[in-house]
Structure 1
């Protein structure tokens, strides 16, 4: 009698193919995916690949912004921040030109209380065990649920808080050796002499006083002064090409009496410094108590895409540093 493979050749070929495919799939030593394969394209989940995709998306948004200005302008001088309620009713507000379209490469979550006080942040899990974690926060006015949450969920983070309207952190922060408060204000100039009613400091001066050279999260809510202050902070870094000394910027923008032709170059300055918006929240609490007026206030969260801050660069492993 002839062997089984001669009597049923098609069946034998099928069984051989199944066995070969199983060995190939389970083989731990098989060659890596080709760079041009479809599987390779959908498995690029490492941090550099995520940032590269986010950069590409954001560059398209910048192009769309220019197109939108030409459509409704055609120049920035012609753009109204909040168009009046009359024909032709253009379908935009100032916030439409600046969507938070940069992808947070980590978890996106709201830290602190719901409603007024909490902030949207990216990748706070990367701070939970960071040894030299620093948070700077300005303009709390006793609302410190954001700061309290970060102190609670991290092992080493220190919070440095400044507000000349207050004399302490809010009630949400109890005595904590990692929390440092000063009744001073953030400004674009140093004005803290004996004759100054409010003690004002630049960020550069505070960093020098505290002997810090980096900040993981910088939070600013200073009632409209953010435009002058951030201009003073960013311009030296843009001129030198050095990366900003902070990883994230969480700021409330107050556009009272602002014109689009002035707001646009200020925003483009943020972009030139490496800041990319990944989240926004219009302040509807403010809007609720100022009905009939423009939606002037918006919270924005930015990630700094330059340098080697913890949100865009993985820390070295013990093997990398020879430990």
Structure 2
């Protein structure tokens, strides 16, 4: 009988045969997936210890590689300083319009162009054919992008939190903070925008934020009511030293505030305090340099208000940050300030990672408490 069917309907028989083979293969494969110990599809047993060891090796290699690149940037800085100094005292923070690496302000009758003046070169970019008066700000080519580039690589993902305008910040490794059981965030300079703090809370499970700003009465309405319990606010200012008890507004050093709150670490430190950052960070960092202990925070989101600060002074301050273990992984000028004031980009955002000590970004194995470890 089967032979008769084959002879009468050969095409039908071939299709039926293919269907039977395919069905058998699917059933075998399905059973193998359900049973990891099957011989066809064997998936080795997951070993958390092996995974942790691999992560340890990986994070150490990534940090070492980034440090190697950063040391190259330090050599390049010295070479640039020799070229435009050679002493730091000889370098102008924001050169005049007629100096190298500046954008000129000019009036043109037939063609609107941006003229970029560089040593022995002149470039023009045509923008149109109507008569206009064009004014551009002087970018910090020498100051920011060349002398102090964000030459370090965050070993994890880099993500922007908050508004894309003034107030948002670039964060390294938010995924490392998502389930950190005792995640601590300090935010200095709240003003009227809390979109950064709001997004940080909504993207983490346990992070709590301590906010400080004597110019406002609390966080803005950007933070949902459901997340307010994870915030703490005081109308204090950040300074290098504590003010007198009767002072108004009250000013405290970062270490004093950490002592008040009972904190021994900060996972993310955001500072935007209109120029006070230089004194505050200098007074904070110096004791750690003397003791050799690592800074108490894992990363720093900082807006620098350089304004009229001399290059040589800023260089010394910046090198202090580097000596303490801070490495910039992101930078951008405050374009809102530049556009509004038509001034130099003396307000610049920087994000740093702290490569020294045991913190959430240099410790890949597990959270601070072993019983809360989550293996991925």
- Does residue 1:266 correspond to 2:317, yes or no? yes
Q: Alpha-carbon deviation of 1:45?
A: 7.9
Alignment match of 1:228 (pick from 279, 283, 294): 279
Following TM superposition, the consecutive aligned residue runs of length 4 or more in structure 1 with deviations greater than 2 angstroms are: 26-29, 87-93, 315-318, 320-323
Alignment match of 1:182 (pick from 214, 234, 243): 234
- Does residue 1:111 correspond to 2:123, yes or no? no
TM-score (normalised: structure 1): 0.83
Alignment match of 1:48 (pick from 50, 60, 63): 60
Report if the CA contact (8 A) 1:192-1:198 is conserved: no
- Does residue 1:214 correspond to 2:293, yes or no? no
Q: 1:279 and 1:89 mapped to 2: Cα distance?
A: 22
Report if the CA contact (8 A) 2:181-2:372 is conserved: no
Report if the CA contact (8 A) 2:101-2:142 is conserved: no
User: Computing the radius of gyration over CA atoms, which structure comes out larger, 1 or 2?
Assistant: 2
- Does residue 1:246 correspond to 2:325, yes or no? no
TM-score (normalised: structure 2): 0.71
Q: Alpha-carbon deviation of 1:145?
A: 0.6
Is there any run of 5+ residues in structure 1 with no aligned partner, and where? 1-25, 30-43
Q: Alpha-carbon deviation of 1:316?
A: 3.3
Q: 2:189 and 2:329 mapped to 1: Cα distance?
A: 22
Q: Alpha-carbon deviation of 1:189?
A: 1.3
RMSD over aligned Cα, in angstroms? 2.4
Residue number in structure 2 paired with 1:294: 344
The number of equivalent residue pairs is 282
1:69-80 matches, within 5 Å, as: 69-80=81-92
Alignment match of 1:83 (pick from 95, 118, 127): 95
Is there any run of 5+ residues in structure 2 with no aligned partner, and where? 1-40, 45-55, 103-117, 119-140
Pick closer, same or farther for the CA change 1:45–1:208 going to 2, 3 Å: closer
Q: Alpha-carbon deviation of 1:143?
A: 1.1
Q: Alpha-carbon deviation of 1:317?
A: 8.3
Q: 2:367 and 2:242 mapped to 1: Cα distance?
A: 41
Deviations 1:83-141 (A, max 9, x none): 11115557533102000010010001111111111100100011111100000000111
Report if the CA contact (8 A) 1:192-1:201 is conserved: no
Residue number in structure 2 paired with 1:35: none
Q: 2:299 and 2:372 mapped to 1: Cα distance?
A: 30
Q: 2:357 and 2:253 mapped to 1: Cα distance?
A: 22
